[in-house]
Chain A
Amino acid sequence: MSSISLADWLQLFGHFMLLSFMAIGGAIVIAPEMHRLMVTQTGMLTDPQFSASIAIAQAAPGPNVLFVAVMGYQAAGLAGAAATMIGIMLPSSTLAFAASRWSQARQDWRAVRAFKAGMAPLTIALLLATGWILAANTPGWAHLLLTVGAALAVWRTRIHLLILIAAGAVVGALGWI
């Protein structure tokens, strides 16, 4: 971790503002682009630091986008975390706010209703695909069983989600998967 000059800070901030506009499907989608920027291009992070950023954010509760803050923190301390996190959030949040206002004011427009109807099956398919990709990243029968079990529990029961996560942690810590 190192301190950062104002010029470098602004550059980091600007880069993540640009990346924000590309993050369709979530921040993790642009992880390869962040890797190019932070590891290959500027050398602000090493390869293990980059992977660790994603792992740390996954171990912590909260939205996945927090890996961006961890990346900034590892590169340049709290100032770095502020640059990357505010940078990634500001443009997309402003856009989401504008879109929210726009579509709420036009709820009865045929185009808005067509959008909602058209996107519903795609939205569900995207969720399924996300789960599939996450599960396929780590092969193995025990792993798959755990994933399928969790899916069934969420789908069919009201068991608390923290219990499911805790069960996964215990099974993993015992080395069963």
Chain B
Amino acid sequence: MEQESRPLARPASLTELFTAFTALALQGFGGVLAVAQRVLCEERRWLSREEFIEILAVGQVLPGPNVVNMSLMIGDRFLGWRGALAALAGMVSVPLVIVLLLAAAYTEFAQNPAVAGALKGMGAVAAGMIVGTALKLAPVVRGNPMGKTACLLLAGAAFVGIALLHWPLLWVLPILGLVACAYAWIRVSRKEPA
């Protein structure tokens, strides 16, 4: 879990944004998030882990597909609205063509047990990749103004509510989010009185 030491870089052109997000999306089977973290934070070094978490947080609170929201915000951050469109188009356009071709061919391969098995195996790996990404990002909370205990309590409550009790996200996220942000506000204010 070594912390990257290479300095951060940034995309030079709209084409680079588009191709980077296309390449990233095409590696994302069963979800793009794990690949996005690997490519953006480690390979290309466009974002630190802290920045990745920040953008992901906004993407999660807003409606819409998280990774699509993220690509748009990342593109905007580097190259303005054109960058937002380039990153968004990169994330969606080529995979869209592929998935529609698959849909057209679906009846051919749907009955094949090996294909069904392969899909199951890929699903299991994809689930593990998301867990692994979460574990890799977890050290980010070290510098959090709320402190370690509060962070653990909040994360634990969110996990139990959503994963174990299956409470709707539409309740869990606003309630815990408000508590967390209010507490963070108090801690930030205490450090630097207005």
Interface residues of chain A, those whose CB is within 8 Å of chain B, are 20-27, 29, 52-53, 55-66, 69-70, 73-74, 78, 81, 85, 88-89, 91-93, 95-97, 99-101, 103-104, 110-111, 113-138, 143-144, 146-156, 158, 161-162, 164-165, 167-177
In the complex, whether B61 has a CB less than 8 A from a CB of chain A is yes
Q: Is the CB of B12 closer than 8 A to any CB of chain A?
A: no
The 7 closest A-B pairs by CB, nearest first: A172-B121, A92-B64, A62-B95, A154-B132, A150-B128, A168-B125, A118-B180
Besides A121-B151, A146-B124, 19 new A-B residue pairs in contact (Cβ under 8 A), listed by A number:
A23-B63, A24-B169, A60-B29, A61-B28, A62-B28, A62-B94, A63-B68, A89-B65, A96-B72, A99-B58, A115-B181, A117-B181, A120-B151, A129-B159, A150-B127, A150-B129, A154-B129, A154-B131, A172-B117
Choose from B68, B94, B119, B145 the contact partner of A55 (Cβ within 8 Å): B119
**One of B81, B94, B134 near A124 (C-beta < 8 A):** B134
Contact indicator A120/B163 (Cβ below 8 Å) = no
Given contacts A100-B73, A128-B131, A128-B134, contact A119 B57 (CB under 8 A): yes
Check if B63 sits within 8 Å of A63, measured CB to CB. Answer: no
Interfacial chain B residues near A26, Cβ < 8 Å: 64-66
**Once the chains bind, are A93 and B88 in contact (CB under 8 Å)?**
yes
Residues of B within 8 A of A (CB): 1, 25-35, 38, 42, 53-54, 56-69, 72-73, 76-77, 81, 84, 88, 91-92, 94-96, 98-100, 102-104, 106, 110, 113-115, 117-138, 140-141, 144-146, 150-152, 154-159, 162-163, 169-170, 173, 176-177, 180-185, 187-189, 194
CB distance from A7 to the nearest CB of B (A): 24
Are B177's CB and A161's CB within 8 A? Answer: no
Chain A residues whose C-beta falls within 8 Å of the C-beta of B120 in the assembled complex:
138, 143, 172, 177
A61 to B69 Cα, complex, angstroms = 17
In the bound complex, how far is the Cα of B128 from the Cα of A161, in angstroms?
A: 11
B61's contact among A119, A138, A165, A176, by CB below 8 Å, is which? A119
Q: Is the CB of B64 within 8 A of A125?
A: no
Bound CA–CA A92/B128 (angstroms): 28
5 A-B pairs, CB-CB below 8 angstroms? A61-B27, A96-B64, A100-B84, A125-B159, A147-B131
**Which B-chain residue is minimally distant from A157 (CB atoms)?**
B132
Q: How far is the CA of A63 from the CA of B127 in the complex (A)?
A: 14
Q: Which residues of B contact A88 (CB under 8 A)?
A: 64-65
Q: Are B53 and A93 in contact (CB under 8 A)?
A: no
* Cα A134 to Cα B34 with chains together (Å): 14
Question: Known: A138-B120, A146-B124. Contact between A121 and B99, CB under 8 A?
Answer: no
Q: With A119-B61, A121-B152 known to touch, is A155 a contact of B32 (CB < 8 Å)?
A: no
